[in-house]
Amino acid sequence: MTFRRIGPWIAVLIGALYFLLPLVATFQFSLSMLRGQWSFEAYRVVFADPRFRETFGFSVIAALSTIALGALLVVPTAYWVRLKLPRLRPVVEFVTLLPLVIPPIVIVFGYLRLYNSSSFLPFTGSIWGTNILLIFGYVVLSLPYMYRAVDTGMAAIDIRTLTEAAESLGARRGTVLWRVILPNVRPAVLSGAFLTFAIVIGEFVIASLLNRPAFGPYLQLVGANRAYEPAALAMIAFAVTWASMAMLNVVGGRRQGGIAGAAPRAPRRLFRRRERTEQP
């Protein structure tokens, strides 16, 4: 009986040590750039490197663009499938899971083969076109996580009732999606956005083969030529990823609390518009 109580805690402790000890060793190594003392010299060198600022800024912009494009693609699709095409849900779910099965290197080689400078859609013929192709690749990689988050959020609300109520008040379908559905699934969209941000920041294959100055290839380049700076970069990337995960947990907690304690929201402007039309 005692072992049944202590056994799970022992397994958790072993798992925590398995993951935390390498992180502690990496962090300690990143502080050992100056002999005989611990210092943040490696972090100072990393932050002073203009390539770090350039690549990290590029990846942040790419991540924000990927989040915006992915939300514009996923939210209307998930809404329409749940509202009008429920029989296509298995097909859509299968399509959104394909990026987990197909390796990124296969995807990017397909992009290069189809959208090279000699094709009828020469995305790789210019820097802007290559950047757009990179964002498209990131949208594909983040599609399973973004779609699952949004679809789960829509499953928690009655979108059919909300849509019918808003349309009875005079709202069009675009207004319903923007002012009624999106505010109720906003925490789910933010959850998918944080996962997307973490994926884009550390992605290497697509950015490397498209020759774009992203943070992932910069990590690989520094790791091949330096000793202590790669450890500092690894800790920075780890901090960014776990900050995204912490924000996801915060958003998820607020979402659960909102669902348990309040009804779905509908915009007041729709009710005011209906009241004005009903006045003599």
Report the residue count for the chain: 280
Residue 187 domain flag: yes
Q: What are phi and psi of 201, to 5 degrees?
A: -60, -40
Residue 178 domain flag: yes
Question: How many helical (H) and strand (E) elements, i.e. helices and strands, does the chain have?
Answer: 13, 0
Q: Domain holding 218: CATH number?
A: 1.10.3720.10
The CA-based angle 135-136-142, given to 5 degrees, is: 85
CB atoms within 10 A of CB 221: 14
- Look-up: residue for tokens 């915009």? 267
| Interatomic CA distance for residues 117 and 137, integer angstroms | 17
In this prediction, residue 263 carries a pLDDT of 44
Residue 233 domain flag: yes
Q: What are phi and psi of 119, to 5 degrees?
A: -90, 180
Residue 247 domain flag: yes
In this prediction, residue 142 carries a pLDDT of 92
Helix (H) or strand (E) run with residue 48 in it: helix 41-48
| Interatomic CA distance for residues 138 and 69, integer angstroms | 10
Residue 128 domain flag: yes
Contact 185, 150 (CB under 8 A): yes
| Interatomic CA distance for residues 271 and 268, integer angstroms | 5
Q: Which amino acid is at 67?
A: I
Instruction: List the domain range (segments joined by +) for residue 126.
Output: 52-257
Nearest to 248 by CA among 236, 237, 256, 260: 256
| Interatomic CA distance for residues 80 and 89, integer angstroms | 10
- Non-local (6+) Cβ contacts of 56 within 8 A are 215, 218
Residue 30 domain flag: no
Nearest to 93 by CA among 152, 163, 179: 152
Residue 23 domain flag: no
DSSP state of 40: S
Strands (E), the chain: none
Residue 36 domain flag: no
In this prediction, residue 277 carries a pLDDT of 47
Per-residue pLDDT of the chain (280 residues; tens, 9 = 90+): 566 778 788 888 898 888 889 888 989 888 888 887 888 888 998 899 899 999 999 999 999 999 999 999 999 999 999 888 888 889 999 999 999 888 888 999 888 888 887 777 888 888 999 999 999 999 999 999 999 999 988 888 888 888 888 888 888 888 888 888 888 888 888 888 888 988 898 889 999 999 999 998 998 888 888 888 888 888 888 888 788 777 767 765 554 444 433 445 545 555 455 445 445 4
Contact 257, 153 (CB under 8 A): no
In this prediction, residue 221 carries a pLDDT of 87
DSSP state of 122: -
Q: How many domains does the chain have?
A: 1
Q: Which two tokens stand for residue 226?
A: 């330096």
What is the value of pTM for the model shown?
A: 0.80
Q: Which amino acid is at 92?
A: V
